[in-house]
Amino acid sequence: MATATKKKMVQWDATDIKAELLSKYPPKVARKRAKQIMINEALQNDTPALTANVRTIPGIMTMRGCTYAGCKGVIMGPTRDIVNLVHGPIGCSFYAWLTRRNQTDAGPDGENYMNYCFSTDMQEQDIIFGGEKKLAQAIQEAYDLFHPKSIAVFATCPVGLIGDDIHTVTKNMKEKFGDCNVFAFSCEGYKGVSQSAGHHIANNQVFRHLVGQNDEVKPGKYKINLLGEYNIGGDGFEIDRILKKCGITCISTFSGNSTYDQFVSSHTADLNAVMCHRSINYVADMMETKYGIPWVKVNFIGAKATAKSLRKIAGYFGEQELIDKVEQVIAEEMPAVEAALLNILPRTEEKTVMMFVGGSRAHHYKELFDELGMKTISAGYEFGHQDDYEGRQVLPNIKLDADSRNIEELEVEADEGRYRPRKSDQELQALDQAGYKFKQYDGLAMDMDKGTLIIDDLNQYEAEKLVEIMKPDLFCAGVKEKYSIQKLGVPMKQLHSYDSGGPYAGFVGAVNFYEEIDRLVNSKVWSHMKAPWQKNPQLSGSFNWE
């Protein structure tokens, strides 16, 4: 459809680009999309300037997936010792089978069901007469075969439509077994407007059925939970390595390489460190209300961001021993990072990148591109909300639409026996005076340059146009977008599943990422697109062997 034009981005200003993106749409579509494309002023807004978390327009080729994908695929997928049973026709379970590159280490004898795909494979008669009996039978068969600690059931579209009561079925089976926690997620694909609704539904049920079930106090000092880290390409392993080196105890990770036991003990931690704000902030909020665990936003993507996050965790606990240890670890780890940068930076500096991924990832990875001296000329989220773009201060002004109201909000109160404030009022005051911020996330826009384009729910057509006009050196999105971008001669890196490789988190990950981006933006591959006779057509006249 499009040929990469020779026009340089300097000839276009952001307003023109926005107008060009909208020019082909029917008027109604153009009006809607105009609200989701923001020319960044890099100001802290009190009211949302960008519309996000709204319906995708039918027929416009979106990058988004569904609620089920967010619940089963993203949040529960990386958990290894829960049997994740999908109630529905076969496809939904099949497509979520090992396709997200979540790594796990279950040891030689540990439980690990991640390589398995479980489904009730609903047939026409189940749709007509109801699938509850089949679900109960499938749960029984899974229990008999594996005797897992827990079986989680995921609803797909038809389940909600035919009215299968999966929560009663699972409750009955749980009571019947006695030693297996069986529970369900009403994460039908049509709920909400993107994967994001599925994250919320997953958070609710994990909180309701898992968190707080085991009060046993785990050994170790400086106990945290790492929320919103999914161990893609081994990111979680690298973060675990660093935390361990610092002497910080990770009670649970939600949910990379996680186990049932981690979830049920997570309320015994003293701090929640939130990586992916979009997918997991619900659990962080609920754990604070019910158990008194404060949360802070962290980011382990980028070496500087990692150092900053470690200092933030150390600052919270406030003990000199930990503060010193963290400084020592940073001092030990940084030389390798700096050496790698010294070599690579001259080849990446001033290169341009676009990122349209996740609900936090585009922001996280900007840190790494900053370290590489690369300019993020346009970015956006696939399923972010306004607060992910403009910071949590816009939260009170976000209007809930019908789609968001359909997603359950849990009413949470302080747990009488288990609520324990982690800090005294005095300590909190002292932290506040020292500039320590809890529950703060300023969003992507603050970190984007003035005049850059921030685009929510970017679609295939706009992606192609943007690349054609702005000719970035690198484009980042997901697997569906990969090859159409590369056909235009622009390298494309998946930032959901990383294509291959990783980890990219932490210090080791930062070096891996620098090397990977160096490979991509300085590759010879893209110089081979034209044959000699296509590059020099003027030479195609007469030429003889004589």
Partner 1 sequence: MLLRHTPTEITERTALTINPAKTCQPIGAMYAALGVHGCLPHSHGSQGCCAYHRSALTRHYKEPISATTSSFTEGASVFGGQANMLQAINNIFTVYNPEVIAIHTTCLSETIGDDLPQMKKKAHAEGTIPEGKYVISASTPSYAGSHVTGFSNMVKSMAEMAEPKGKKNGKVNIIPGWVEPCDMEEIKRLTAIIGVKTILFPDTSGVLNGPLSGEYKMFPDGGTTVAELQSTGDSLGTLALGEWCSADAARTLDTKHKVPCSILDMPFGLMATDRFIDALRTIAGVTIPEEIAYERGQLVDMISDMHQYLYGKKVALVGDPDQLIAMTEFLVSMDMKPIHIVTGTPGNKFEKRIKEITKDMGCEVNVRAKGDMFLLHQWIKNEPVDLIIGNTYCKYIARDEDIPYVRWGFPILDRQGHQYFPTVGYKGGLRLLEKILGVLLDRKDRDDSETKFELVL
Q: What does the block give as tokens for 144? A: 């008999």
Residue 34 as a binder of partner 1 (CB under 8 A): the answer is no
Tell me if 26 contacts partner 1 by CB under 8 A.
yes
Q: How far is the CB of 138 from partner 1 (least distance, A)?
A: 4
Give min distance, CB of 487 to partner 1, in A: 4
Nearest to 75 by CA among 112, 100, 106: 100
Residue among 11, 2, 17, 102 at smallest CA distance from 455: 17
If we measure between CA atoms, which residue out of 386, 395, 385 comes closest to residue 439?
395
Which one of 57, 345, 398, 431 is in contact with partner 1 (CB under 8 A)?
57
193 binds partner 1 (CB under 8 A): yes
Among the candidate windows 187-195, 201-209, 275-283, 428-436, which touches partner 1 by CB under 8 A? Answer: 187-195
Interface region with partner 1, contact rule CB under 8 A, candidates 54-62, 256-264, 350-358, 429-437: 54-62
Report the interhelical angle of 166-177 vs 132-146 (nearest 10°): 30
* Active site (catalytic) residues: 66, 69, 100, 199
Q: Which is nearer to partner 1, 157 or 274 (CB)?
A: 157
Name every residue whose Cβ is closer than 8 Å to that of residue 337 and which is 6 or more positions away in sequence. Answer: 303, 507, 510, 511
Contacts with partner 1 in 403-462 (CB under 8 A)?
403, 406, 460-461
Determine the Cα–Cα distance for residues 472 and 353; give it in Å rounded to an integer.
Answer: 5
Q: For residue 358, give the nearest of 154, 72, 157, 65 by alpha carbon.
A: 65
Cβ distance to partner 1 smaller for residue 189 or 234? 189
Q: Is 190 in the site for partner 1 (CB under 8 A)?
A: yes
Give min distance, CB of 206 to partner 1, in A.
20
Task: By CB under 8 A, tell whether 156 contacts partner 1.
Answer: yes
Nearer to partner 1, 422 or 482 (CB): 482
186 vs 272 by CB, closer to partner 1: 186
Considering the complex, state which of residue 48 and residue 189 has its C-beta at the smaller distance from partner 1.
Answer: 189
Instruction: For residue 384, give the nearest of 356, 408, 355, 360 by alpha carbon.
Output: 360
182's enclosing H/E stretch is strand 181-185
Query: Does residue 94 interact with partner 1 by CB under 8 A?
Result: yes
Cβ-based nearer residue to partner 1, 34 or 428:
34
Is position 344 an interface residue for partner 1 (rule: CB under 8 A)? no
| Rounded CA separation 493/486 (Å) | 10
Residues that bind partner 1 (rule: CB under 8 A) add up to a total of: 93
486 binds partner 1 per the rule CB under 8 A: yes
Tokens of 262: 């981690």
Is 162 a residue that touches partner 1 (CB under 8 A)? yes
According to CB under 8 A, which residues from 362 to 381 bind partner 1? Answer: none
CB count within 10 Å of CB 43 equals 11
Contact between 483 and partner 1 by CB under 8 A: the answer reads yes
Which residue in 335, 366, 376, 380 sits closest to 507, CA to CA?
335
Preceding amide of 255 cis, omega within 30: yes
Query: Rule CB under 8 A: is residue 37 a binding residue for partner 1?
Result: no
Q: How many CB atoms lie within 10 A of CB 512?
A: 21
Contacts to partner 1 from residues 104-123, by CB under 8 A: 111-113, 115-123
Q: Are 300 and 239 in contact (CB under 8 A)?
A: yes
Contact 105, 132 (CB under 8 A): no
By the rule CB under 8 A, 155 interacts with partner 1: no
Q: Is 257 in the site for partner 1 (CB under 8 A)?
A: no
Residue number with CB closer to partner 1 (489 or 501): 489
Q: Which stretch binds partner 1 (CB under 8 A): 1-9, 297-305, 313-321, 509-517?
A: 1-9
